[in-house]
Structure 1
Amino acid sequence: MPYHASAQRPSWSGLPAELRAAVSDRLGSPVVTARVAGAGFTRGFAAVLHTAAGGRAFVKAAPAAEQPHLVEWYAREAAILDRLPADLPAPRPRWTLYEAGWFVLCTDAVDGHTPRLPWVPAELDATLAGYAEVAAALAEPSAELTALGLPHLADLARSDILWWEEVAAGREPPPPLPSSTADRLPDLVALESLLPRYAAGASGLIHGDLRVDNVLIGADGRAWFCDWTWVCSGPAWFDLAGLLLTAYAGGLDADRLFATHPATAGAPPDALDATLAALAGYYLTGAAAAPATASPHLPTHQRWSGEQCLAWLARRQGWA
């Protein structure tokens, strides 16, 4: 999956003239170049803007009439970014505006690139070290963050992530399954059902959508974490499992990477299995129902991710 080129976004010149003028005004100088972000799965505008005065900023924008869900997501991310610990490896917010029917979020621009796949050892090490820093910082979230009323992973799991039970009950069409898991639906239902119970006791916050395309490797080799829309209360090992899918797919010892990471301290022995089962169902059923407003690459990403979850789980369970 080419995560560095998964997005389909409008160009800077394709934005309304009034919007471009308002953004340039807030930046204090006319925009002279725009490097549109290639990663991601939404159709919202996202680019590093360079101004005539030599300034740089990262800007996201979406039209309220055509993409109200993106406006909601960007506004939520703005509120979260504004309350994250200042020393976290996350882009710092600058401002938001609403102009010409578009909502805009501006943050500092991170000078970096999406991690290369298969993972380069130094980039994977930096990403895992960076996430250990994030998990530690969010283990006891600030009052400002908790005041946002962010959701809990246990509730999100029940409402949106657990799909094998729906498949088993005939309420959701069964996705194609490889031979190693074709007759394992009862096991998948049982394993995914553990996730809400395991997540319920977590008091810290997690990123909630930690994938390789939400990571940037800076010029100094440090990992930065982007797209903070889906922050929720939950155990940090849930984030880690999703991040390590690409490590597993690249032939690395993802079991060891998971087990030895600080984020898994105190995790139940089958926490990874429960997460892989839940994510497999979420991705595979989602691949058949991707919204028209998403990137056309989204179903491919979901199908691939679901297949990796199942393959990793089957190997761990001895099904393969």
Structure 2
Amino acid sequence: MSPPELPPVPYHASAQRPSWSALPAELRAAVAERLGSPVVTARVAGAGFTRGFAAVLDSADGGRAFVKAAPAVEQPHLVDWYAREAAILDRLPVDLPAPRPRWTLSAAGWFVLCTDAVDGHTPRLPWTPAELDATLAGYAQVAAALADPPGELTALGLPHLADLARSDILWWEEVAAGREPTPPLRAPLLGRLPELVELESLLPRYAAEATGLIHGDLRVDNVLIGADGRAWFCDWTWVCSGPAWFDLAGLLLTAYASGLDADRLFAAHPATAGAPVDALDATLAALAGYYLTGAAAAPPTASPHLPAHQRWSGEQSLDWLARRQGWR
């Protein structure tokens, strides 16, 4: 095993969000009314990379809920994301390890999504065996359930990973054409741009063959380890048609950075059954380009820690790929 290389800021402390008391009084009153009791404590979520409000709210009657909220004028993209997530959560199979939706509301110019609260924590890095095993087992359940998704979920007209790859994920071709600046690369990798372009180009072709749905944004900050040790999966905004091994590769970046045998973990997981032999390489090439170019163009509405995390994720993707390809 290699020594772990931890992210620049822990995932459980990557967010920058408003406090409950900073929200408009009219909004707080509307949320409390919908909860049926005044809010007595609010524990703001430390994980994530948006500036939207997100917290576990405890009410005076002993109730507990998780609430996300965003202002329509200042953060319309977050409003769209939360509304999309609400529609997806409402249609996910009920036995998946995902928070169940309760309600949405619009008040004081804000949109609010309320779900069941999960009593848990972001997985610790380096990964502990128990938490990694629970997360991989939980994702196996998710992948199996979404391999043949319910009709009401597919009826939402969710995007396809193959199209998302072409429009938003593949960036090495843009770098090679001079339309995007070359991100900082270690000397042994400076001459590998043609190989990176070729590998990432495989992703949309492979993804087009998939018929199931995937989470689409499976990072460690979208996982919670419950009090019983079970893994829960959050932030379902980016569900799309695609192969489950794409989710798995993104999740295992932190296993690779933890010094674990990520190749073995990927190959042994049920989500990789039937995957092309170079599916992992294609995904790592695409993720490396996506993260490294994105680090230089993070939106101002995101957490200030996002660029550093994108850069770190891109470096881990590229390092893992370089080791697999013998580019040392």
| Structure 1 residue corresponding to 2:159, chosen from 134, 147, 151 | 151
Q: What does 1:49-88 correspond to in 2, within 5 Å?
A: 49-88=57-96
Letter of the 2:174 counterpart: E
Pair 1:113 & 2:121 matched? yes
Segments of structure 1 that go 5 or more residues without pairing to the other structure are none
Match of 2:270 in 1: 262
| Structure 2 residue corresponding to 1:94, chosen from 91, 99, 102 | 102
* Whole-angstrom distance in 2 between the partners of 1:229 and 1:264: 23
Match of 2:44 in 1: 36
| Structure 1 residue corresponding to 2:28, chosen from 15, 20, 28 | 20
Letter of the 2:91 counterpart: R
Q: What does 1:120-269 correspond to in 2, within 5 Å?
A: 120-269=128-277
* Whole-angstrom distance in 1 between the partners of 2:188 and 2:145: 39
Residues 280 and 305 in structure 1, CA contact (< 8 A), matched pair in contact too: yes
Residues 91 and 109 in structure 1, CA contact (< 8 A), matched pair in contact too: yes
Match of 2:311 in 1: 303
In the TM superposition, residue 83 of structure 1 has moved relative to its aligned partner by: 0.1
In the TM superposition, residue 179 of structure 1 has moved relative to its aligned partner by: 1.9
Q: Deviations over 1:17-39 (max 9, x none)?
A: 00000000000000000000000
Match of 1:271 in 2: 279
Q: Where do 4+ consecutive residues of structure 1 move more than 3 Å?
A: none
Give aligned-pair identity as a percent. Answer: 89
SS of 1:98's partner is strand
Q: Deviations over 1:84-134 (max 9, x none)?
A: 000000000000000000000000000000000000100000000000000
* Whole-angstrom distance in 2 between the partners of 1:177 and 1:152: 30
Equivalent pairs, count: 320
What TM-score, normalized by structure 1, do the two folds share?
1.00
In the TM superposition, residue 57 of structure 1 has moved relative to its aligned partner by: 0.1
* Whole-angstrom distance in 2 between the partners of 1:63 and 1:212: 26
Q: Deviations over 1:34-71 (max 9, x none)?
A: 00000000000000000000000000000000000000
Residues 132 and 261 in structure 1, CA contact (< 8 A), matched pair in contact too: yes
In the TM superposition, residue 250 of structure 1 has moved relative to its aligned partner by: 0.8
In the TM superposition, residue 180 of structure 1 has moved relative to its aligned partner by: 2.5
Residues 180 and 314 in structure 1, CA contact (< 8 A), matched pair in contact too: no
Segments of structure 2 that go 5 or more residues without pairing to the other structure are 1-6
SS of 1:118's partner is coil
Q: Deviations over 1:128-172 (max 9, x none)?
A: 000000000000011100100000000000000000000000100
Pair 1:8 & 2:16 matched? yes
In the TM superposition, residue 182 of structure 1 has moved relative to its aligned partner by: 1.2
What TM-score, normalized by structure 2, do the two folds share?
0.97
Q: Deviations over 1:65-86 (max 9, x none)?
A: 0000000000000000000000
* Whole-angstrom distance in 1 between the partners of 2:284 and 2:187: 17
* Whole-angstrom distance in 1 between the partners of 2:275 and 2:32: 48
In the TM superposition, residue 271 of structure 1 has moved relative to its aligned partner by: 0.1
Letter of the 1:36 counterpart: V
* Whole-angstrom distance in 1 between the partners of 2:147 and 2:60: 42
Letter of the 1:303 counterpart: R
Letter of the 1:244 counterpart: L
SS of 2:106's partner is strand
* Whole-angstrom distance in 1 between the partners of 2:68 and 2:101: 11
In the TM superposition, residue 181 of structure 1 has moved relative to its aligned partner by: 1.2
* Whole-angstrom distance in 1 between the partners of 2:153 and 2:188: 43
